[in-house]
């Protein structure tokens, strides 16, 4: 797998790597195949620790600032960006029904799962080096992964004196686990669509969709 070989990493346990790349939709269709969720849990913790240590050793930030910076570099958008950069998104195993629904959430989760697999197979130092090799260049470039697209879109629309409106078009799932689908309209025309676990998240995604399409 190029996303490991490029970094001179070779896992002894190939099964572990397969698990890290397997979404539950694929595992559900193939008896005895495990999905990445438990490895993701582990990788998430390794990632947090490595980036915490990095900011502790390499910055003079106060606690709150370290938290903010770490959050920026381990947020979903950031992890999905790294994963795509190293070609990890091409290796994910999805079930038939999910095949066309590869999204940033899954890509980011698989990135965490791969880190979990490296940690188990090769230990902390190797996983730490992998994480830093990938992320530090972005830190040096001062990348902002938490762009507030709602504000951006608002500003964009204001300059053109157009109206902006968000509307929930679909709502499904049980009360404690709802999913919202939101559209954003500019002068009554739908420009973007977003799905999220909260109205806020769905609105952000709809705004991002519209912003990237229109504000060029």
Verify binding: residue 109, Mn ion, rule CB under 5 A.
Answer: yes
Compute and round to an integer the Cα radius of gyration of the chain: 19
Verify binding: residue 36, Mn ion, rule CB under 5 A.
Answer: no
Query: Of 46, 41, 77, 32, nearest to 18 (Cα)?
Result: 32
Q: Which two tokens stand for residue 28?
A: 């559900």
Active site residue 44: yes
Helix, strand, or coil here: 193? Answer: strand
Q: Are 20 and 94 in contact (CB under 8 A)?
A: no
Active site residue 203: no
Q: Are 199 and 171 in contact (CB under 8 A)?
A: no
Residues 146-175 that bind Mn ion (CB under 5 A): none
- Nearest approach in angstroms of CB 204 to Mn ion is 18
**Crossing angle for the helix pair 76-85 and 124-140, nearest 10 degrees?**
100
From the candidates 89, 91, 112, 209, give the one annotated as an active-site residue: 112
- Nearest approach in angstroms of CB 205 to Mn ion is 17
Nearer to Mn ion, 91 or 109 (CB): 109
Residue with the CB atom nearest Mn ion in the bound state = 109
Nearer to Mn ion, 89 or 109 (CB): 109
- Which residues sit at the interface with Mn ion, rule CB under 5 A? 109
Catalytic residues: 44, 112
């Amino acid at each position: 797998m190029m996303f490991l070989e490029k970094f001179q990493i070779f896992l002894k346990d190939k099964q572990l790597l397969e698990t890290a790349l397997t979404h539950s939709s694929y595992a559900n269709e193939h008896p005895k195949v495990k999905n990445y969720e438990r490895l993701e849990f582990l990788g998430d913790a390794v990632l947090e620790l490595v980036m915490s240590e990095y900011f502790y050793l390499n910055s003079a930030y106060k606690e709150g600032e370290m938290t903010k910076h770490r959050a920026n570099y381990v947020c979903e958008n950031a992890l999905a960006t790294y994963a795509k950069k190293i070609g990890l998104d091409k290796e994910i195993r999805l079930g038939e029904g999910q095949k066309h629904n590869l999204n940033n959430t899954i890509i980011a989760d698989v990135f965490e799962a791969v880190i979990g697999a490296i940690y188990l197979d090769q230990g902390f130092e190797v996983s730490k080096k992998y994480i830093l090799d990938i992320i530090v260049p972005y830190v040096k470039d001062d990348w902002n992964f938490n762009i507030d697209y709602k504000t951006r879109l608002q500003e964009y629309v204001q300059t053109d004196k157009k109206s902006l409106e968000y509307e929930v078009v679909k709502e499904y799932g049980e009360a404690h686990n709802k999913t919202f689908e939101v559209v954003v309209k500019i002068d009554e025309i739908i420009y973007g669509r977003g799905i999220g676990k909260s109205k806020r998240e769905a609105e952000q995604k709809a705004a991002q969709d519209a912003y990237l399409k229109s504000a060029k």
